[in-house]
């Protein structure tokens, strides 16, 4: 069985009720649910939540909410992996055998089914513990610098001050959309960012981390442009 687990707790602070706030006309969590379902990869798409409104919204858009996430896994400090492990254990307790478990983030409205399908095909090669969405840094990280307490600056890697950008290896970061993992890899809490994982690259304009109202506005503007130019499926 292939399952998608969408973590969505109710206690968001910076954007109140973020997981069910309307984004370009519908609750933001609906995009993750509908994309997961339309990919035809998953036998079950479930939402792990402690919140009644999120649960009802998730059901309205086709997801299952087979359990209430315990309060101990619903605070500001609970890691995503712990939520996924809890979901996996629920499936195992019900007697299900899991082939793949995909964590899909609730606030990823720019997620596209083609990326899910591509990642799942790579996952099926059985070479990797995890296959997840990532995007490239738009500026070479080797030329990054920090601001000091004196208000001066200091490069992290000063040896690359005069290195041409095209001569530096590309660097990537998590795009915050999805992560396919083997059941045992999740349960063993294996580090995702390792040589046991690989990535599906997402263009930077579709990798939007929505934590503030400004992030929200920017993401909506991107969505409107993507739809206008038929770049959203």
Is position 25 within any domain? Answer: yes
pLDDT in tens, 82-116: 999 999 999 999 999 999 999 999 999 999 999 99
Contacts of 109 (CB under 8 A, 6+ apart): 23, 24, 28, 31, 32, 219, 223
State which residues form the domain around 220. 2-133+174-228
Is position 149 within any domain? Answer: no
Instruction: Write the CATH number for 179.
Output: 3.90.550.10
pLDDT in tens, 7-61: 999 978 789 899 999 999 999 999 999 999 999 999 999 999 999 999 999 999 9
Q: Tokens 């609730």 appear where?
A: 106
Is position 23 within any domain? Answer: yes
Is position 40 within any domain? Answer: yes
DSSP for 149-164, written as a single string: TTS-EEESSGGGTTS-
Domains in the chain: how many in total?
A: 1
Q: How far apart are CA 233 and CA 228, in angstroms?
A: 12
Is position 165 within any domain? Answer: no
């Amino acid at each position: 069985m292939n399952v998608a687990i969408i973590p969505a707790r109710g206690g968001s602070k910076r954007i109140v009720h973020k997981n069910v706030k309307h984004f370009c006309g519908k609750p933001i969590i609906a995009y993750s649910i509908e994309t997961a379902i339309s990919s035809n990869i998953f036998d079950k798409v479930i939402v792990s939540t402690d919140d009644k409104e999120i649960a009802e919204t998730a059901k309205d858009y086709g997801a299952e909410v087979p359990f209430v996430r315990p309060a101990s896994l619903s605070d500001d400090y609970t890691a995503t992996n712990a939520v996924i492990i809890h979901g996996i254990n629920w499936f195992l307790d019900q007697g299900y055998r899991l082939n793949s478990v995909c964590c899909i983030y609730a606030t990823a409205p720019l997620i596209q089914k083609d990326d899910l399908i591509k990642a799942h095909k790579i996952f099926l090669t059985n070479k990797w513990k995890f296959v997840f969405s990532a995007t490239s840094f738009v500026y070479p990280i080797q030329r990054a610098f920090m601001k000091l307490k004196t208000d001066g600056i200091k490069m992290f890697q000063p040896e690359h001050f005069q290195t041409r950008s095209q001569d530096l290896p590309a660097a990537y970061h998590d795009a915050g959309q999805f992560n396919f993992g083997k059941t045992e890899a999740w349960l063993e809490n294996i580090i995702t960012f390792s040589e046991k994982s690989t990535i599906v690259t997402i263009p930077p304009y579709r990798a939007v981390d929505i934590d503030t109202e400004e992030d929200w506005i920017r993401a909506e503007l991107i969505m409107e442009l993507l739809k206008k130019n038929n770049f959203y499926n």
